[in-house]
Amino acid sequence: MTKGECSMLYSRTEYAQKKKPSPWILDSGASNHITSDLQHLCNVTDVSGCPVGLLNGHTAISTKEGKVKLSDNLNIEHVLYVPQFKCNLISISQLSYDSNYSVQFTDDLCAIEDRTSKMLIGSGERRNELYLFREAPSNKVCKVEGMNELEV
């Protein structure tokens, strides 16, 4: 991995060892992407005291932000580091504004698509009244040279 390159959040080894990774919640009410785990971030930079409201009514101040690679097709930038926070949030507002993605919700699912190609790049599954991010399955296409007609 080169400097500035993000690794995916959860390796196959973590899943194989049955470690339960912290879920990322797709939140239509959040103003910013937020994580409480500094290890999720790459390209970390200092920010000038960004206030973040906590569930208990208090305010925490974020002084760092970075980039998170959620999957091969989905990177989120300007993710605030807030150690007092108890979960990881993907802000739908920030996701739509910062990137070329659109997000659509149904009663049980949400889809994150590239606006131009309409390719599904991520999704959310509703669990306990929250939409939890999950990576979109990747499909590979292989081009075969020298075949001009269908052979059965």
> Per residue in 71-90, pLDDT tens?
888 899 999 999 988 889 99
> pTM for the full model?
0.77
% of the chain exceeding 70 in pLDDT: 76
pLDDT tens column, 88-108? 999 999 999 988 899 999 999
pLDDT at 13 over 80: no
Q: How far apart are CA 7 and CA 25, in angstroms?
A: 20
The answer for 57, left when phi > 0, alpha when psi is -120 to 50, beta otherwise, is left
* Confidence (pLDDT) at 3: 46
Is domain 23-135 in CATH 2.40.70, yes or no? yes
Q: How far apart are CA 2 and CA 144, in angstroms?
A: 33
Domain ranges of the chain: 23-135
How many angstroms separate the Cα of 135 from the Cα of each of 10, 81, 143?
A: 11, 22, 25
How many angstroms separate the Cα of 42 from the Cα of each of 5, 39, 50, 93, 119?
A: 7, 8, 19, 22, 25
pLDDT at 12 over 50: no
- Dihedral angle sign, alpha carbons of residues 11, 91, 60, 84: negative
